[in-house]
Chains A and B, each alone.
Chain A
């Protein structure tokens, strides 16, 4: 993980808990509390600024929410109830609020996750989860998924290239059938990979329990600093609702 900001040095488990707590507070916020959302956004962007990842990187990573955005944009056209006319098109008021709700919450949630992932290497995040007493097996499963997703994508790429080399050109959605059927082959290969990885683990003395590698724990000071974020958000929410 390139970069070294204050955020990078905070302990991963503290950051993880803070992000989850902030996201929960955001998710609980009634959609019409626009001022609260504005304050959350200011806070989230301030955090992003401290990570020093740069606007372009931030926007690029934020693009993961595009599928949700697409879905959200449809809602005002199909929603029922009271409607308003915009440029002669009838839009559902409820639908518009629903769109706003999805956009605001997905955008804020993604922003917090970006702040976390930009400043915490995957292994540290996994160690943080272990220290938070997330079951070892679950952490191991997540770790393997992350470790082998690249290998799988590469394998799929190789299969695609070999199909292209044999004259198939899957450029359009309705041409994906060969790719879809190769998903079966990919599954078998993943299964075999799983077997071989398990053997490699056994060969190095694995007995069913993932060993812990790092023992460093978050200090109380770190916890306090990091938990200011969800407390701040909760305060905003309380004031807004009351």
Chain B
């Protein structure tokens, strides 16, 4: 297991047929092994941004690098092996008819097969606390189980970077706690897109706020969350009665 840095320079993007830029010069640097929360209101461009990291959206202007490798068409095979992206809706991530096949999908595309593949799947499921789930139908898992299996589907590719888009949405408190335990046990570089400010505080020393397609704040999570005006300006809210200074 290794980790890679991420470097994004002046990223701009407009969806075809739209009149508004989804990204307007977004820049960020993340060190290898760092865990950073990406905060921001709905529609601020967070999902659009992370879709550039593994080349699902092609760069229109600016530059993205994973380690020393630029994210361009000719590097996509390597980039997609190194970046594990966990999407917002776990039902999109779990598209095969059994958990085992879903976790095997990535490594099988990389050429792993037979007993080695089987072992890898079992080991990864155990790592996310889903040992013995191999034969289950992904559709019949609980929200928390789906999320952990979704993470297993990218961990099985041994990525350097993990990108999680709103990983706690739709989870109950127990599922949320298990997810936090899992993420804090992983050593990859992690980018966690979330509205869940307490999650950011618990997991990430550093946070950035994305608003209107740009990074508008970047700093230690406790400092950002203590800045009530900054949060209000970007439609971010701590849960009622939550006091960041007391954590």
Q: Do A and B bind?
A: yes
Task: Give A residues with C-beta under 8 Å from B.
Answer: 121-123, 126, 143-144, 146-148, 150-151, 193, 196-197, 199-207, 211-213, 215
Report B94-132 CB contacts with A as 1/0, cut-off 8 Å.
Answer: 011110110011101110011001000000000000000
Contact A202 B56 (CB under 8 A): yes
Residue from B104, B109, B154 whose CB has the most chain A CB atoms within 10 Å: B109
Give the CA-CA distance A151 to B92 in the complex, in Å: 10
Residues facing A in B74-100 (CB within 8 A) are 77, 80-81, 83, 85, 87, 89, 91-93, 95-98, 100
Taking a contact as CB atoms closer than 8 A, the residue among B92, B135, B153, B157 that contacts A121 in the complex is B135
How far, in angstroms, from A241 to B74 measured CA to CA in the complex? Answer: 65
Chain B contacts for A146, CB-based, 8 A? 97
Cα–Cα distance between A197 and B90 once the two chains are bound (Å): 10
- Decide if A204 touches B56 in the complex (CB within 8 Å): no
> How far is B140's CA from A146's CA once the two chains are assembled, in angstroms?
13
Q: A147-B139, A211-B113, A213-B100 are in contact. List 4 more A-B contacts (CB 8 A).
A: A143-B96, A205-B110, A212-B108, A213-B101
Q: Is B54 an interface residue (CB 8 A)?
A: yes
A140 and B81 CA atoms in complex are apart in Å by 22
Contact A202 B92 (CB under 8 A): no
> Are B153 and A215 neighbours in the complex by a CB distance under 8 Å?
no
Beta-carbon nearest neighbor of A193 in chain B: B92
Assess A204 versus B114: contact at CB under 8 Å? Given A123-B97, A126-B97, A197-B92: no
Q: Which A residue's beta carbon lies closest to that of B140? A: A150
In Å, the complex CA distance between A205 and B78 comes to: 9
Given contacts A123-B101, A151-B139, A213-B100, are A203 and B85 in contact (CB under 8 A)? yes
Give the docked Cα–Cα distance between A128 and B164 (Å).
35
Q: How far is the CA of A146 from the CA of B95 in the complex (A)?
A: 10
Interface residues of B (CB under 8 A from A): 51, 54, 56, 77, 80-81, 83, 85, 87, 89, 91-93, 95-98, 100-101, 104-106, 108-110, 113-114, 117, 135, 137-139, 153-154, 157
List the B side residues contacting A213 at CB < 8 Å: 100-101, 104, 108, 117
Judge whether B95 and A144 touch: CB under 8 Å.
yes
* Contact between chains at A211 and B104 (CB < 8 Å): yes
With known contacts A211-B104, A211-B105, A213-B100, A200–B92 Cβ distance under 8 A: yes
CA of A148 to CA of B80, assembled, Å: 25
**What are the 8 tightest A-B residue pairs by CB atom distance, in nearest-first order?**
A211-B108, A205-B109, A204-B106, A196-B92, A123-B98, A123-B97, A203-B85, A197-B95
Complex CA gap A205/B91 in Å reads: 18
Bound-state CA distance A19–B83 (Å) is: 44
Residues of B within 8 A of A206 (CB): 105, 109
- Whether the Cβ atoms of A196 and B105 lie closer than 8 Å is no
Task: Let me know if A200 and B93 touch, CB within 8 A.
Answer: yes
Contact of A147 with B95 in the complex, beta carbons under 8 Å = yes
**Contact status A204-B139, CB under 8 Å:** no
Kindly state the separation between the CA atoms of A139 and B232 in the bound complex, as whole angstroms.
51
Kindly state the separation between the CA atoms of A207 and B98 in the bound complex, as whole angstroms. 21
Say whether, besides A205-B77, A205-B80, A205-B81, A200 and B109 are in contact (CB < 8 Å).
no
Determine if A211 and B109 form an interchain contact, defined as CB atoms under 8 angstroms apart: yes
What CA separation (Å) do A130 and B137 show in the bound complex? 19
A contact residues around B51 at 8 Å (CB): 199
19 contacts between A and B (CB under 8 A): A121-B98, A122-B137, A123-B135, A143-B96, A146-B97, A193-B92, A197-B92, A199-B87, A200-B85, A200-B92, A200-B95, A202-B80, A203-B83, A203-B85, A204-B157, A205-B81, A205-B109, A212-B108, A213-B104
